[in-house]
A and B are shown apart, each in its own frame.
Chain A
Amino acid sequence: MVATEYYVALSAILFSVGAVGFLTRRSAIMIFLCVELMLNAANLALVAFARQWSSAGVATAMNGQTAVFIILAIAAAEVAIGLGILVAIFRHRASTNVDTLSEVRF
């Protein structure tokens, strides 16, 4: 059995890649993808921890697995809303570059 630490390390790397991508990417689509990566990193961590707790004999260990389904549903809903807003906004604009969204200022 692969130790839980490796899974958690992988999930931490995925999460960091997502967070760095969120902060550096300029295209709204890529930013969405980075958020998805972060959410899936959390899912991976949850599944790994659930396996660890169930092998430790904790009765509620399956809660971690069910939580993953809930978070998958949340992620799907978030994408639907996000793409909806994106389409509404960028219908009249040439690019999906978020730097063009800087009208509201002090």
Chain B
Amino acid sequence: MSFAASLDFTWIALAPLITLLLTAAFGLFAALWGFGSRPAAGISLIGLVTAGVFTFILFQNERHGVAGSGFGLNYLVDLPATAFHFVIIVGAILAVLISYDYLERAGLEHTEYYPLMILASVGAMVMAAAGDLITLVLGLEIASLAVYVLTAWRQGARESEEAGMKYFLLGAFSSAFLIYGVALLYGATGSFTLPGIAAGAADPQLGTALLAGLGGLMVLGGLAFKASMAPFHQWAPDAYTGAPTSVTAFMSVVIKVGAIAALLRVAATFLPELSPLVTELLVWIVALTMIVGNLAALAQRGVKRMLAYSAVAHAGYLGLAVLAVDGGGMRAAAFYLMAYALMNAGAFAVLILMSDRFDHGDDLERFAGLSRSRPGLAAAMAIFMLSLAGIPPLAGFAGKVLVFGAALESGYFILAVIGILTSVVAVFYYFRVIAFMYFREPEYAAPSYRSATTGWAVGIAAVGTVLFGLFPGWWYGLLEVGAQIVAGR
């Protein structure tokens, strides 16, 4: 990268990000001028939709072969990046809708909430588009710092504060490993760009191979932490359970998209070049994540915590796509993440309508008899549970088929078998919720809370889950064109 190339500002490539940054700034100014957080929600929605339109234009450009990039390939606007941006924007829109009435009811209306959510989305989008490791680290920190604050949003509530502190401390620890890994990779190859590191690692000299291998392990560990993969997943159940439910819905979708997108890009370029040990380790991480996530979810009585462990399990299935990145894993992951964003945000939205203003009352018993008291809500929850379990013809099923197919194509037979077996285990705990809703007599008074915007979020997510399941080609077909995963390779 020469100096001239580093001054290559391509504003159109950055249009979605700039839109979102302006949105966040407007939201903060609304706070200064004393407008409160309700207009900020509207501004955020407008900003997100505008960014979505820009992303769609860039996506279409890319499909017609006009590749975009900025800052000399350090910020890539290729097909995977725009596809992941789209998923992030969908997840953020759902999260804003979920938050709107929830915040008022829970007494958490501070104006900074929506700007922080938008900034976290920007960070995740930068991660998905990063063409070099410093950009990647920056995006990861932008996303993480905003989400740490959101996790601890419920001041005075011990669970939330504890979740925020744990997430922050462990997150800072893991990003220190990531940054040290980046430094070691730079020492081994003299480059921060993904193709540069791949090229530098391809002809190793004595001594640099050790640095490169160690650096690769550290980068892998740091990113696996953010994607909540076992054994780096311990923070996830606590942070997801303790955070306000709207924040849980947001971070279980948006941060995961960013982390998985970054892992995919790293795995597509330099990770296999460093050392066979690194790929081997990723295989073990993925297998462990699928097993631990599903078995731990099986043991939970609280639905929120069960969904937290199910998020870990889904990180495992996405890890399969990361391993199979050369065999169509990128497309499979983009589809899976879209399905996951819809069904997971939808399930958390239902949880908000079920629980009280302190997020309590998410036990399985509370769901008993829901099909009689709130048939619509029960039907939506049943759709989300069936889709998360991977039952046809819903979106989760199509996603699992694509991911397992990609894994088999790349020769990860045993991992695919583990994935299918753990999916069978998963069916059990997802169906338990459905069984409580439909086949149990109610034990508690029916939940009476209603909210129009959260209802909208549930509706959009449910319709999306069904449509993406019935017509997976809509989204998957669009991802077909760009064969090049990363420019320069």
Residues of A within 8 A of B (CB): 4, 8, 11, 15, 18-19, 22, 28, 31-32, 35, 38-39, 41-43, 45-46, 48-50, 52-53, 56, 58-61, 63-64, 67, 70-71, 74, 77-78, 81-82, 84-86, 88-89, 92, 98, 101-104, 106
Contact = CB atoms under 8 A, between A and B. Distances in A.
B190 A101 contact: no
B169 A28 contact: yes
B4 to A, nearest CB: 12
A3 B294 CA distance: 50
A92 B156 contact: yes
Contacts of A32: 172
A45 B180 contact: yes
Contact of A28 (B134, B165, B191, B305): B165
Interface in B146-173: 148-149, 152, 155-156, 158-159, 161-166, 168-169, 172-173
A15 B180 contact: yes
A52 B176 contact: no
Nearest to A39: B176
A62 to B, nearest CB: 9
A45 B188 CA distance: 11
B162 A64 contact: no
A106 B162 contact: no
B335 to A, nearest CB: 33
B2 A70 contact: no
Given A101-B165, A106-B299, A35 B180 contact: no
Interface in B315-331: none
B66 interface: no
Interface stretch (B93-101, B137-145, B267-275): B137-145
A46 B169 CA distance: 24
Contacts of A18: 176
22 contacts: A15-B176, A18-B176, A35-B176, A38-B177, A46-B183, A63-B192, A67-B182, A67-B183, A70-B138, A71-B179, A74-B175, A74-B179, A81-B148, A81-B168, A85-B165, A88-B152, A89-B152, A89-B162, A89-B165, A101-B161, A103-B158, A104-B162
Interface string B199-242: 00000000000000000000000000000000000000010011
Contacts of A98: 165, 169
Contacts of A86: 165
Contact of A42 (B161, B163, B182, B299): B182
B187 interface: yes
Main SS at interface, chain A: helix
B180 A42 contact: yes
B141 to A, nearest CB: 5
Nearest to A105: B238
Top 9 closest pairs, chain A to chain B, by CB: A38-B176, A49-B187, A45-B183, A89-B161, A42-B180, A101-B162, A42-B183, A35-B172, A42-B179
A26 to B, nearest CB: 12
B168 A85 contact: yes
A47 B145 CA distance: 25
Interface of B: 1-2, 134, 137-138, 141, 145, 148-149, 152, 155-156, 158-159, 161-166, 168-169, 172-173, 175-177, 179-180, 182-184, 186-187, 190-192, 196, 238, 241-242, 299-300, 305
Given A32-B172, A67-B192, A74-B138, 9 more contacts: A8-B187, A38-B177, A41-B180, A56-B190, A78-B145, A78-B175, A82-B148, A82-B169, A103-B158
A22 B137 CA distance: 21
Scoring B2, B161, B166, B184 by chain A CB atoms within 10 A of each residue's CB, the highest score goes to B161
B67 to A, nearest CB: 22
Given A49-B183, A63-B192, A74 B141 contact: yes
A82 to B, nearest CB: 6
A79 B164 CA distance: 14
Contacts of B241: 104
Contact of B190 (A31, A42, A60, A106): A60
Nearest to A100: B162
Contact of B184 (A28, A45, A78): A45
Contacts of B155: 88
- Among A18, A42, A59, A88, max chain B CB count under 10 A is at A42
A81 B165 CA distance: 10
Contact of A39 (B164, B179, B238): B179
A67 B163 CA distance: 31
Contact of B2 (A35, A59, A61): A59
A85 B144 CA distance: 13
A13 B65 CA distance: 49
